[in-house]
Structure 1
Amino acid sequence: MSVVARQSFKYSLVGYLGFLLGTLSTFFLFTNDLSFYGKLRFILPTAQLFLPIAVFGISYSNVKFFQEMQKDGKHHNMLSVSLLGIVFNFILFCICFFCFYLLFPNYQNSKTWEMKGLILPLVLVSALSAVFNKYISNYKRIAISNIFENLFPKLANIGAFCLFFFLGFSESWAYLFFFLVFLSALLGYYYYANKLEGINFDFSLDYFKENSRWKPFLDYSFYGFLGNLGSYLALSIDNYMISEHIGFQQNGVYSTIYSIISLVSVPAMGLYSISAPIINKHFAEGTMAELNHYHKKTSLVLFSIGLVLLCCICVGFPYLTFYMPKSGGAIREAQSLVWIIGAATLFELATGFNGYIISMSKYYRFSIIVMLVLAMVTIGLNFFFIKFTNLGILGVGIAYAVSLTLFNIVKIIFNYIKFKVFPLSMPMLYVLIVGGIALGGAFFLPELNIPFYNLVYKPFVVLIIALLGNHFLKIYPLADFVFEKLKKKK
Structure 2
Amino acid sequence: MKRNKTHKQVFWFTIINYVGVVIGVISTVFIYPYDKEFLGMVRYVDSMAQMLFPIMVFGGAQALIHFYPSLTKHNKNRLFKYGIVTVLGLSLVILVVLLFGKTFIDWDNYKYVFYAFPLAFSLAFVELFKRQATNIEKLEIPTLYEKIIPKVSLPIIFLLLIAEHLDKISALVAFIGSYFILLLLMVLYVLRHYRLHSGYNFKSLFNEVPKMEYYKYSFYSFLGSFGALFAFRIDAFMIPEFLSFEANGTFNIGVALATSLAIPATGMFAIYAPKISAYLKNDGIVELGKKYIETAKLLFFIGAILYTAVILGIESFFRMLPTYDNLVDSIPIIMLLGFNVLFNMSTGFNSEIISYSKYYRFNIIAILVLSVLNICLNLFFLTQTNLGIIGVAYASLIAMISFNCSKLIFIHKKFGILPFDKNYLKLIGMVSVVFLICYLLPENSSTVLNLLLKVGLNTCVIILVTYKMEWVYSLNYWVDKLIKPDK
TM over 0.5: yes
The more displaced of 88-97 and 129-138 is 129-138
Counterpart AA for 2:416: K
Counterpart AA for 1:400: S
Structure 2 partner of 1:355: 351
Q: Cα distance, 1:85 vs. partner?
A: 1.0
Q: Cα distance, 1:207 vs. partner?
A: 8.9
**Residue 254 (1) aligns with residue 254 (2):** no
Change beyond 3 A, Cα 1:417–1:209: closer
Choose 1 or 2 for highest CA Rg: 1
The more displaced of 77-86 and 32-41 is 77-86
Q: Cα distance, 1:385 vs. partner?
A: 1.1
Is the 1:431–1:475 Cα contact (8 Å) retained in structure 2?
no
Q: Cα distance, 1:242 vs. partner?
A: 1.8
The more displaced of 75-84 and 38-47 is 75-84
Distance 1:8 1:63 in 2: 18
Structure 1 partner of 2:123: 126
Q: Is there any run of 5+ residues in structure 2 with no aligned partner, and where? A: none
Q: 1:307 aligns with which of 304, 307, 310?
A: 304
Distance 1:129 1:63 in 2: 15
Structure 2 partner of 1:317: 314
Q: 1:476 aligns with which of 463, 471, 475?
A: 471
Q: 2:91 aligns with which of 84, 87, 109?
A: 87
Q: Is there any run of 5+ residues in structure 1 with no aligned partner, and where? A: none
Change beyond 3 A, Cα 1:359–1:205: closer
Counterpart AA for 1:339: M
Structure 2 partner of 1:417: 413
Distance 2:274 2:82 in 1: 28
Is the 1:336–1:394 Cα contact (8 Å) retained in structure 2?
yes
Distance 1:209 1:275 in 2: 26
1:88-143 per-residue CA deviation (whole Å, 9 max, x = no partner) reads 322343146425xx24x2xx233xx2423422332333334444444565655434
Q: 1:219 aligns with which of 211, 216, 221?
A: 216
Is the 2:59–2:220 Cα contact (8 Å) retained in structure 1?
yes
**Residue 373 (1) aligns with residue 369 (2):** yes
Specify the SS of the correspondent of 1:42: helix
Is the 1:156–1:182 Cα contact (8 Å) retained in structure 2?
no
Change beyond 3 A, Cα 1:452–1:38: farther
Counterpart AA for 2:454: K
Change beyond 3 A, Cα 1:451–1:37: farther
Distance 1:267 1:301 in 2: 9
Structure 1 partner of 2:172: 175
Q: 2:30 aligns with which of 28, 31, 34?
A: 28
Change beyond 3 A, Cα 1:201–1:172: farther
Distance 1:210 1:303 in 2: 43
1:404-460 per-residue CA deviation (whole Å, 9 max, x = no partner) reads 101111111112211221234555555455444434433443434442232222211
Q: CA RMSD in A?
A: 4.0
Q: Cα distance, 1:401 vs. partner?
A: 0.6
Is the 1:164–1:174 Cα contact (8 Å) retained in structure 2?
yes
Aligned residues: 481
Change beyond 3 A, Cα 1:443–1:211: closer
Structure 2 partner of 1:382: 378
Distance 1:348 1:167 in 2: 41
Structure 1 partner of 2:46: 44
Structure 2 partner of 1:98: 102
How do residues 79-478 of structure 1 correspond to structure 2 at under 5 angstroms? Answer: 81-95=85-99, 97-98=101-102, 102-103=104-105, 105=106, 108-110=107-109, 113-134=110-131, 140-166=137-163, 168-192=165-189, 195-196=192-193, 215=212, 217-272=214-269, 275-276=272-273, 279=276, 283=280, 288=285, 291-292=288-289, 294-326=291-323, 328-425=324-421, 427=423, 430-466=426-462, 474=469, 476=471
Is the 1:38–1:248 Cα contact (8 Å) retained in structure 2?
yes
Distance 1:278 1:199 in 2: 24
**TM-score, length-scaled by structure 1:** 0.82
Counterpart AA for 2:346: A
Aligned sequence identity (%):
26
Q: Cα distance, 1:161 vs. partner?
A: 1.1
Q: Cα distance, 1:316 vs. partner?
A: 0.4
Is the 1:153–1:181 Cα contact (8 Å) retained in structure 2?
yes
**TM-score, length-scaled by structure 2:** 0.82
Distance 1:192 1:200 in 2: 16
Structure 1 partner of 2:17: 15
Distance 1:380 1:20 in 2: 34
Is the 2:59–2:219 Cα contact (8 Å) retained in structure 1?
yes
Distance 2:207 2:269 in 1: 40
